[in-house]
Amino acid sequence: MGGEKGNLMRSIILLFALTIAVISLQLQGCGNDSDAQFTPTDTKGRIISAVDPFGRKTVSVGNDPDEFISYIDEGTGDPVIFIHGAPTYSYLWRNVIPHVSDTHRAIAIDLVGYGNSGSPTSATFRFPEHQQWFANFVNALALDNITLVVHDIGSIIGFDYAANNPGKIKSIVHLESVYFPLPNTDLLPPQAAFIMTDEGQQAIVDDNWFIETMMPGMIQRELGVAEKASYAAPWEDTARRRALQIVLLDLPIAGIPADNQATFEAFGMYLGTSNVPKLLLYADPGVLVQDVVAPGFPASVREIVSGFPNTTSIGLGSGLHFIQEDNPHGIGEAISDFLATLP
Q: Is the C-alpha dihedral spanning 193, 194, 197, 202 positive or negative?
A: negative
pLDDT for res 100: 98
265 is catalytic: no
- Residue 75 Cα distances to 37, 52, 98, 100, 137, angstroms: 31, 16, 9, 8, 18
Residues in the chain: 343
Q: Catalytic pick from 152, 160, 325, 333? A: 152
Q: Catalytic pick from 110, 176, 227, 333? A: 176
Q: Catalytic pick from 129, 321, 326, 333? A: 321
Q: Where are the alpha helices (DSSP H) in 21-89?
A: 23-26
66 is catalytic: no
pLDDT in tens, the chain (343 residues): 445 554 444 444 444 444 444 444 344 433 444 444 578 999 889 999 999 999 999 999 999 999 999 999 999 999 999 999 999 999 999 999 999 999 999 999 999 999 999 999 999 999 999 999 999 999 999 999 999 999 999 999 999 999 999 999 999 999 999 998 988 776 666 778 888 999 999 999 999 999 999 999 999 999 999 999 999 999 999 999 999 999 999 999 999 999 999 999 999 999 999 999 999 999 999 999 999 886 666 888 899 999 999 999 999 999 999 999 999 999 999 999 999 999 9
Instruction: Please state which CATH number belongs to domain 3-30+51-340.
Output: 3.40.50.1820
The pair phi, psi for residue 112, each rounded to 5°, is: -60, 130
Calculate the CA 54 to chain-centre distance: 20
176 is catalytic: yes
The DSSP string of 91-149 is: GGGTTTGGGTTTTSEEEEEPPTTSTTS---TT----HHHHHHHHHHHHHHTT--SEEEE
State the Cα–Cα distance between residues 146 and 152, nearest whole angstrom.
19
> Which of 147, 174, 186, 204 minimizes the C-alpha distance to 21?
186
pLDDT for res 295: 62
Do the strands 146-152 and 79-83 form a parallel or antiparallel pair, or are they unpaired? parallel
pLDDT for res 3: 53
pLDDT for res 32: 41
